[in-house]
């Protein structure tokens, strides 16, 4: 069994379900101690922790609201004080789809607050610890961040910001011992992809060269690569995992 992350502590936000849970379990299978970040779904976070332990890892659940800098800093500092902090995966996300002409202010501001500002908050709080550990950050972006996605102007803007933030942080932090990269998923069978209308799902599947949606495990493997020493010369990059959708 691979133990690339044995002895390392990993914080995954948005880990109570969907892609975040897949990522957390994948780290557990590699021997990591995983902080299961969640905002309100504690029962689901506890189930995710059970899966992490069943996979061979360990960890704890961490209630964290990525919109709140004070809360983020407190949670990150306590977790790092107990176990160190070697990897951060920014997976917390919300989708509030509306056509732009009819979009209300809350749909815009809340989506930016979680997807983009939340990523900023976690990175700001974690970087001092990651510099000591010479650790890594993997941000979860989306192909909506660099291609048109009608009905998702707010989400696209947020994920486009995550892509730009990743490149700049990668350039700033490499000389300080921290590598920052992003994984860019396409249509997945977990999380938000499960809530698509069937007709919309069929239309999108028809555009994917592989002819199917991706799994959480397929994206998680890409996250582990970017977080591991196997990608030691990869900095500020976006690894697209979309079955060819963005080609």
pLDDT (tens digit per residue) in 175-216: 999 999 999 999 998 866 555 556 666 777 888 999 999 999
Tell whether 93 is covered by a domain: yes
CA distance 143 to 35: 27
CA distance 139 to 144: 14
Domain that residue 182 falls in = 9-234
CA distance 32 to 114: 26
Tell whether 74 is covered by a domain: yes
| CATH number of the domain where residue 82 is located | 3.40.50.720
pLDDT value, residue 203: 78
In Å, how far are 4, 49, 50, 229 from 1, measured between CA atoms?
Answer: 9, 20, 19, 17
- Name the residue among 196, 86, 180, 110 with its Cα closest to residue 141: 180
Tell whether 220 is covered by a domain: yes
pLDDT value, residue 230: 97
CA angle 148, 149, 152 (to 5 degrees): 130
| CB neighbour list of residue 97: distance below 8 Å, 6 or more residues apart | 151, 152, 155
Strands 9-12 and 33-38: parallel
| CB neighbour list of residue 74: distance below 8 Å, 6 or more residues apart | none
Name the active-site residue from 38, 120, 155, 233.
155
Tell whether 247 is covered by a domain: no
pLDDT value, residue 190: 85
CA distance 13 to 103: 27
Tell whether 42 is covered by a domain: yes
Map tokens 């010479």 to a residue.
134
Adjacent-strand bridge partners of 139: 90, 182
Tell whether 3 is covered by a domain: no
Tell whether 60 is covered by a domain: yes
CA angle 240, 243, 247 (to 5 degrees): 70
Tell whether 214 is covered by a domain: yes
| DSSP label at residue 116 | I
Query: Can 155 be counted among the known catalytic residues?
Result: yes
What is the chain's pLDDT, residue by residue, as a tens digit (247 residues)?
568 999 999 999 999 999 999 999 999 999 999 999 999 999 999 999 999 999 999 999 999 999 999 999 999 999 999 989 999 999 999 999 999 999 999 999 999 999 999 999 999 999 999 999 999 999 999 999 998 888 899 999 999 999 999 999 999 999 999 999 999 999 998 866 555 556 666 777 888 999 999 999 999 999 999 999 999 999 999 999 999 999 8
Number of domains in the chain: 1
């Amino acid at each position: 069994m691979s133990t690339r992350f044995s002895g390392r502590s990993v914080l995954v936000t948005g880990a109570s379900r969907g892609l975040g849970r897949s990522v957390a379990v994948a780290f557990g299978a590699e021997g990591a101690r995983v902080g299961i970040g969640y905002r309100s779904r504690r029962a689901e976070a506890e189930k995710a922790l059970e899966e992490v332990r069943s996979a061979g890892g360990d960890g704890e659940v961490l209630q964290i609201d990525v919109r709140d800098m004070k809360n983020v800093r407190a949670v990150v500092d306590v977790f790092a004080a107990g176990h160190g902090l070697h990897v951060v995966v920014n997976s917390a996300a919300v989708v509030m789809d509306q056509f732009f002409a009819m979009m209300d202010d809350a749909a815009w501001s809340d989506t930016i607050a979680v997807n983009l500002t939340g990523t900023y908050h976690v990175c700001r709080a974690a970087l001092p610890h990651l510099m000591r550990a010479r650790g890594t950050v993997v941000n979860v972006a989306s192909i909506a961040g660099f291609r048109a996605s009608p009905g998702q102007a707010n989400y696209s803007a947020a994920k486009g910001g995550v892509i730009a933030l990743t490149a700049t942080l990668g350039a700033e932090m490499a000389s300080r011992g921290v590598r920052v990269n992003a994984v860019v998923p396409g249509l997945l069978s977990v999380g938000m992809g499960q809530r698509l209308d069937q007709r919309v799902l069929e239309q999108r599947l028809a555009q994917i060269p592989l002819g199917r949606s991706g799994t959480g495990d397929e994206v998680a493997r890409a996250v582990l690569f970017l977080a591991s020493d196997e990608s030691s010369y990869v900095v500020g990059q976006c690894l697209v995992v979309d079955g060819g959708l963005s080609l």
